[in-house]
Amino acid sequence: MNDVKANRTLVVNNPQGIHARPANLIVRLAQQFQSKIEFTKENHRVDGKSILELLTLAAVQGTELRVEATGPDAQHAIDALAELFAGNFAEGEDSAEASKSPKI
């Protein structure tokens, strides 16, 4: 088996940190890849494909997370996750859309 390893440090930039919605987005994205994906905060390592484990990181705004992927699509997984973090989990888009919705 030809496993490739890739890693990167990602910073949580959204004001609410990694709560249920961003964790769900991370897991859904991570599950699209064959690679094993793990996040580490300090000495706490979790499975990147488990929403419950991600939430145990208690990653608030400014937290640095190390993400490591091992598998045939490791680099693609890391790049996709970095893009998700860079876009702040599209949280600004939701609030902008919500403000357009009519109030009941």
> Pairing mode, if any, of strands 36-41 and 4-11?
unpaired
8 Å CB contact between 11 and 62: yes
Does 19 qualify as catalytic in the annotation?
Answer: yes
Residue indicated by tokens 């964790």: 23
Catalytic residue, candidates 8, 16, 19, 80: 19
**CA-CA distance, 3 to 51, in Å (whole number)?**
24
Q: Roughly how many angstroms between the first and final C-alpha of the chain, as a whole number?
A: 57
Catalytic residue numbers, as ranges: 19
